Structure 1
């Protein structure tokens, strides 16, 4: 099995922190996820069947189907994982004949999960080229939707390591002006994607700060983006949210030496940073040596910054 797969399975079964807008899950999704947490697949399937009998094929039902696929993938049951991923995709595409993908949250989550699971099943079966081609096709198909970053994340997980780092848009920023990544060739670069609402990002700030102090020759860039709201989930204009982002930066990340913070939604899409934090390390030649969605410890990250 490839080295990346344990991480991918962990990401699938872990309930990562999400912005407040996604905090409330439909009852059937919660029920299925609770059953999957204890590996009770029979209970998850029973709940799914009961929900369909009661309410039919709703967006929340389709999201729950996609979670069954993710659960089976976590269990390395690739046949069942692929079966439910294909089913979720079929149902989502049928629903999209009558609505836009991002009209509500369940359909994009379901379709994104189905694409993710299908690609990871291909990769787990040793069909990396097919997985990459499939994800490249899906990035193009859903480029203008909310699931672009998620698809790109999986494409990057499978294929980005050892390749040239994607560009970073540094046109808008808070704090000191960030350098262009291309200008940093000859230096190692630690890229730390964070969100103002993200508790795991704040918890990892000390790790990044320690490494930045110990390896001052490493440039540290902390891209972030606006989400449409500020403290407490209150919707605010972009300019007000940028101001809030800077307040969060100064409160939680001021101890990271040399940190620069570009602000760009496109950075998150291009780098596939649908999970926060997302961490990457670029070597002195501009090649990606680490791409990791999710929080990392000092011990996990140290070898990539040190070597």
Structure 2
């Protein structure tokens, strides 16, 4: 649990610092203050913006960054306060706005729920964090924040549990084996997206480890999904996007040509893939032993696989 919380704090800190080269808005100004560890200034900027413009979606997202920033800094009481304030503003905004039409609102609400759960877990109340996330998934399970909430629930609960089944209906490459049929092997699930540069960075690591350990029983299944667009955000129909996914696989992931690639949103929802890549490592008995949104180094992933072989 401590490893999960520290890892998420590091990820939050990295995200907080990634504000450079963006147009000046209340969001970028608050993030700049957070990056300087000046949370009082960030809060003052948000309050001034609220006084001038009212409660906008940009303000809600800016408030969520204050929640994330104070959590990453270990200020749990302040993180809880900012997440509660953001959540209240976001829920009120949803009375007149659709989350699917408002990316700032989506980000703000998702972050508020995430930070509240993280604070509960960091305080040692894991069961409360799990219950809170389950309740929020019931509320927002059909919305665009579902994956993010499921990711956070999985981070708290998935390791040590049987791997959720994969939807094998549509696929590229060989037929998708049921995870039940893969028992006896160590299975690495590599969730990727055709537009994802971090996935391309992770690919050589997975390729090298697959070649290294295939004879000892390592298997790779690489779920992906459609997003409704292809190169440079150009809208695409399902058939055109599937052809594009196959092209990206062949160009950037040639080692996956002979591996099963389930294509569908259901797997990403089930495994909470709001971050790509996401890796899940399943042992020979079908139990998830590692669940990791984001990239892993070759040394870390090698060590995790080696323990299960």
Matched, 1:231 2:231: yes
Matched residues in 2 for 1:174 and 1:25: separation? 40
Match of 1:77 among 54, 75, 78: 75
Q: What's the counterpart of residue 286 of structure 2?
A: 286
Q: What's the counterpart of residue 2 of structure 1?
A: 2
Residues 182 and 286 in structure 1, CA contact (< 8 A), matched pair in contact too: yes
Show the 5 A alignment for 1:26-41. 27-41=25-39
- The alignment's TM-score, normalised by the length of structure 1, stands at 0.94
Which secondary structure does the structure 1 equivalent of 2:15 belong to?
Answer: coil
Q: How many Å apart are 1:101 and its aligned residue?
A: 2.1
Residues 26 and 60 in structure 1, CA contact (< 8 A), matched pair in contact too: no
Q: How big is the alpha-carbon RMSD for the aligned residues of Structure 1 and Structure 2? A: 1.8
Match of 1:171 among 164, 169, 172: 169
Matched residues in 1 for 2:239 and 2:257: separation? 26
Matched residues in 1 for 2:256 and 2:203: separation? 7
Residues 173 and 257 in structure 2, CA contact (< 8 A), matched pair in contact too: no
Q: What's the counterpart of residue 150 of structure 1?
A: 148
Match of 2:53 among 55, 59, 62: 55
Q: What's the counterpart of residue 20 of structure 1?
A: none
Q: How many Å apart are 1:54 and its aligned residue?
A: 1.9
Matched residues in 2 for 1:109 and 1:60: separation? 10
Moved more, 102-111 or 143-152: 102-111
Q: How many Å apart are 1:257 and its aligned residue?
A: 7.7
Which secondary structure does the structure 1 equivalent of 2:292 belong to?
Answer: strand
Which secondary structure does the structure 1 equivalent of 2:86 belong to?
Answer: helix
Q: How many Å apart are 1:256 and its aligned residue?
A: 4.6
Show the 5 A alignment for 1:186-201. 186-201=184-199
Matched residues in 2 for 1:74 and 1:214: separation? 37
Residues 222 and 262 in structure 1, CA contact (< 8 A), matched pair in contact too: yes
Q: How many Å apart are 1:175 and its aligned residue?
A: 2.1
Q: What's the counterpart of residue 251 of structure 2?
A: 251
Matched residues in 2 for 1:255 and 1:185: separation? 22
Matched residues in 1 for 2:2 and 2:176: separation? 35
Q: What's the counterpart of residue 19 of structure 1?
A: none
Q: What's the counterpart of residue 209 of structure 1?
A: 207
Which secondary structure does the structure 1 equivalent of 2:2 belong to?
Answer: coil
Question: What per-residue deviation string (whole Å, max 9, x for no partner) do you get for residues 83-122 of structure 1?
Answer: 0000000001111111222121111111110110000000
Q: How many residues align?
A: 302
Q: What's the counterpart of residue 87 of structure 1?
A: 85
Which secondary structure does the structure 1 equivalent of 2:48 belong to?
Answer: helix
Moved more, 2-11 or 75-84: 2-11
Which secondary structure does the structure 2 equivalent of 1:98 belong to?
Answer: coil
- The alignment's TM-score, normalised by the length of structure 2, stands at 0.93
Which secondary structure does the structure 2 equivalent of 1:303 belong to?
Answer: helix
Residues 173 and 258 in structure 2, CA contact (< 8 A), matched pair in contact too: no
Matched residues in 2 for 1:131 and 1:38: separation? 29
Residues 212 and 256 in structure 1, CA contact (< 8 A), matched pair in contact too: no
4+ residue segments displaced more than 3 Å: 23-26
Q: How many Å apart are 1:139 and its aligned residue?
A: 1.1
